[in-house]
Amino acid sequence: MRSVATLVDYFGHAGEIVEPHPGRQSVIYRVPGRVPGAPALTLLPHLDVVPVNRAGWSREPFGAEIADGFVWGRGAIDMLNLTAAMAAVFKRYLTGELPPLPGDLVYAAVADEEAGGALGAGWIAANRPELVESESLLTEIATPHVIPGGGLPVTVAEKGPAWRILRTTGTPGHGSQPYATDNALVPLADAVMRLTETPTPVVISPEWEAFVTGSGLAEDLVARLTDPDRVDAAIEELRAADLGMARWAHACTHMTVAPTVFAAGGKHNVIPDGGEVRLDIRLTPGQDLDTVDDHFRKVLGPDLH
């Protein structure tokens, strides 16, 4: 809400504020184009950020401190840098400093993106579509890995979330006698290990191929990064030289499975009878939920339901 107030203040115009849930505010502005029927463009930044674990921070996460040539803070990269940059450009059209574009220009700063968007962009599209009606939109690229040869990557496809929760059940017992108990935490830990260690299927998409080919990387490395049989070894090799690039190359060529929240038990001396792990799963373009099911059955066995 403070973000919306900040934007409204910055623009000097109220805009259209929607708040489908207390605290989940989005704000939308539209500058009419000068040519009737010309296609409209929406700038679609998000306003929210993921939570902060202060123990991992050496600077105030919400202080926006400028040091060492960077703005430091939660969301500085994802994506408030772009939210601010888009606002700075949009303001010039909104205030008439720049003449209108041929088509409408929309600035829609939305809440809830980090939680799936149902109370932000999703809600607006379902309930107030006229606010964001447009032919094209520009949204975020959270962490473009700037390629060694320089240049600005252009995002043409996105991975899709296919989050899952894996649950186990057991039989409660006393922690003093663990022998042969049915402890829900143990198979859960085992599943996490297996999901982490088993490679997911390789996908060499045309988008990845085009990106790597234009990246300026060595020809031999390009060949291996675009070969489904050699890409994993190439990523392993990249890891020593540039871990960030290796991680990014892996994410662009695989469905990824990341355990992020793990919970079982509640009392120090009780064998847990249930547990769950939340998995952040991202599909590459072209994959679907069956890809996840197939992988899970392969890794965890047919008993899964």
Q: Which CB, 104 or 140, lies closer to Zn ion?
A: 140
CB of residue 298 vs Zn ion: minimum separation in angstroms?
31
CB of residue 302 vs Zn ion: minimum separation in angstroms?
37
Is 229 designated active site? no
Q: Which CB, 50 or 263, lies closer to Zn ion?
A: 50
Residue 161 pairs in a beta bridge with 282
Q: Which CB, 44 or 252, lies closer to Zn ion?
A: 44
Q: Does 48 bind Zn ion (CB under 5 A)?
A: no
Q: Which CB, 101 or 157, lies closer to Zn ion?
A: 157
Residues 168-197 that bind Zn ion (CB under 5 A): none
Q: Does 82 bind Zn ion (CB under 5 A)?
A: no
Residues that bind Zn ion (rule: CB under 5 A) add up to a total of: 4
- What is the SS3 assignment for the chain? CHHHHHHHHHHCCCCEEECCCCCCCEEEEEECCCCCCCCCEEECCECCCCCCCHHHCCCCCCCCEEECCEEECCCHHHHHHHHHHHHHHHHHHHCCCCCCCCCCEEEEEECCHHHCCCCCHHHHHHHCHHHHCCCEEECCCCCCCCCCCCCCCCCCCCCEECCEEEEEECCCEECCCCCCCCCCHHHHHHHHHHHHHCCCCECCCHHHHHHHHCCCCCHHHHHHHCCCCCHHHHHHHHHHHCHHHHHHHHHHHECEEEEEEEEECCCCCEECCEEEEEEEEEECCCCCHHHHHHHHHHHHCCCCC
Cα atoms found within 13 Å of the Cα of residue 116, Cβ hemisphere only:
7
CB of residue 86 vs Zn ion: minimum separation in angstroms?
13
CB of residue 78 vs Zn ion: minimum separation in angstroms?
4
Is 65 designated active site? no
Residues 60-79 that bind Zn ion (CB under 5 A): 78-79
Active-site residue, selected from the candidate residues 48, 104, 112, 140:
48
**Mask 113-142, x = binds Zn ion (CB under 5 A)?**
---------------------------x-x
Q: Which CB, 139 or 200, lies closer to Zn ion?
A: 139
Q: Does 104 bind Zn ion (CB under 5 A)?
A: no
Q: Which CB, 80 or 277, lies closer to Zn ion?
A: 80
CB of residue 57 vs Zn ion: minimum separation in angstroms?
19
CB of residue 139 vs Zn ion: minimum separation in angstroms?
9
**Which has the closest alpha carbon to 252: 141, 168, 163?**
141
Burial class (CB in 10 A: 0-12, 13-18, 19+), 42: buried
Q: Does 112 bind Zn ion (CB under 5 A)?
A: no
Active-site residue, selected from the candidate residues 112, 113, 140, 273:
113
Which residues are catalytically annotated? 48, 113
Interface residue list for Zn ion (CB under 5 A): 78-79, 140, 142
